Structure 1
Amino acid sequence: MAVQVAVVDPLPMFRQGVATVLSAAGHDVETPADVLAWVRRGRRQLVLLTLVREPDWDLLERLCDEGGTHAVIAVIGEDDPGEIGARAVRTGARSVLEREVTPGALRRTVEATADGQAVMPAAVASALSSGPRSADAVPEFLSARRLSWLRQLAAGSTVAQLAKRSGYSERAMFRMLQTLYQEMGVSTRIEAIVRAQAEGWLRADAERTGDTARGSRGASG
């Protein structure tokens, strides 16, 4: 069964490698610049979306909200694959694939997902079965992405560095942080960090997402 597949990844060599493997198996592979427009075109479609930066997570949400007959396979790195993969599934991905995968596993995942099955590493299934890690102390407005920003700021990152890692312009990052500070009831970066530390929100974030800042891979949450 031939499947239309879109590959979305920041590295041309990775895209080319995936296209070579899947084309050899008889599938129709493209690397569209606008994957949202691509999914509106037809049927039996799959999107292989690599989650590296925060905008990639935004794109995953939009793809899953789009409706239609397409399904998304989230491609993740090796850093905390269980939790990152579980987050991708909760966001709407049907299957999860580790980036360092063999050609055979790539083909099997694509074909099984196209057939309506959900395929994922054991670590992802385990994380899903155990439920979200405890973060009861964190208010609802502090999403995993916003907590990641606070952790990076607390670690000494500048707004410019945070913007670059998250895939936003510095001006947009500044606006989003100002909105966050207002919702936290503070006015400045220092006040936000002090309050987050005093409330234990950063510790809760570490329990939920691990100690590594997520902004540099998008798998930040």
Structure 2
Amino acid sequence: MTTPRRVCAIRDPIPAYRRGIARELEAVGYETAEPGDCIAWIQRFHQAAHSTEYRLAALLSIRSEADVDVLAMLRTYDEQVALLALLVDPDIDNYRQALDAGAGGVVDYAASPDDIVAALDATWDGAVRLPRAVVIEFLSRPRRSNGIPPVCESDVRRLAALANGWSVERLANHENFSTREMFRRLQELYHTLGVSNRHQAIAAAARHGLLDGSLETGQGPSCHRAANR
């Protein structure tokens, strides 16, 4: 079986930084790109005749909430893409925010090229490389309760559609939204459920009985609270 080609998009406003990371990645066998629109870049691979020949990754510098939104949209759009967040401000809360938004790995923006490559490689294996202090802080915080906040009926319908294999684009078209607006709404829903991606959201909804068909339908934006279990 042919080994898929690893292709990595690099998103950062500083050309010299992008080129430096690209050189390091290319030295260890990655192909690189610097797309202006990462979602459009991913779409081109989806539409390619031999899309399975590629494994995609994206490195995104996180400087603002807008960058976090881009990270979240990419995770919502394609959960198979390896996403590595490069934190310009490596505060512990920013590590948590990046992971909550869907990053498969998080590293300090000022980390050495070797550390960045190692962190990216780890994401392919489903591992996350984090500083020891960050891990200790995460583990020291209390667990969330098993209950979930109220979930509106329209959100339940979206979860059911996702559980039935609908794409974000199909869901957006069905509700007459743009794809980006649907990304935004789904991210708000994931945040409400305390999860970071569609698989976790579907699992949480099923666990709390939101997908069992017991909710009454109606025309108003009524909300329902799942019983704590």
Q: TM-score range by the shorter chain?
A: 0.5 to 0.7
Counterpart AA for 2:104 = R
Contact 2:8 2:59 in 1 (8 A): yes
Counterpart AA for 2:77 = E
| Alignment pair present for 1:98 and 2:98 | no
Corresponding residue for residue 55 of structure 1: 66
Contact 1:73 1:97 in 2 (8 A): yes
Counterpart AA for 1:52 = R
| Alignment pair present for 1:46 and 2:57 | yes
Corresponding residue for residue 13 of structure 1: 16
- Larger RCO, structure (CA 8 Å, separation 6 or more): 1
Secondary structure of 1:75's aligned partner = strand
Contact 1:3 1:114 in 2 (8 A): no
Corresponding residue for residue 129 of structure 1: 139
Secondary structure of 1:3's aligned partner = strand
38, 53, 76: which one pairs with 1:65? 76
Contact 1:46 1:72 in 2 (8 A): yes
Question: Number of residues paired by the alignment?
Answer: 135
73, 86, 89: which one pairs with 2:96? 86
Structure 1 unpaired stretches of 5+: 133-221
Contact 1:5 1:47 in 2 (8 A): yes
Identity, in percent, stands at: 30
Tell me, in whole angstroms, the C-alpha distance in 1 between the residues paired with 2:36 and 2:79. 19
Tell me, in whole angstroms, the C-alpha distance in 1 between the residues paired with 2:60 and 2:74. 10
Please say which of residues 3-12 and 109-118 is displaced more in the overlay.
109-118
Corresponding residue for residue 22 of structure 1: 25
1:79 offset after TM fit, Å?
Answer: 4.6
Q: Map 1:1-221; keep pairs closer than 5 Å.
A: 2-40=5-43, 41=45, 42=51, 43-80=54-91, 82-131=92-141
TM-score (normalizing by structure 2): 0.53
Q: Which runs of at least 4 in structure 1 moved beyond 4 Å after TM superposition?
A: none
Counterpart AA for 2:109 = R
Residues 26-85 of structure 1: CA deviation (Å, up to 9, x unaligned): 1111111110112231441111111112211111110111124202111102452x2101
Contact 1:72 1:93 in 2 (8 A): yes
Tell me, in whole angstroms, the C-alpha distance in 2 between the residues paired with 1:112 and 1:48. 13
Structure 2 unpaired stretches of 5+: 46-50, 143-229
Residues 171-206 of structure 1: CA deviation (Å, up to 9, x unaligned): xxxxxxxxxxxxxxxxxxxxxxxxxxxxxxxxxxxx
Contact 2:63 2:89 in 1 (8 A): no
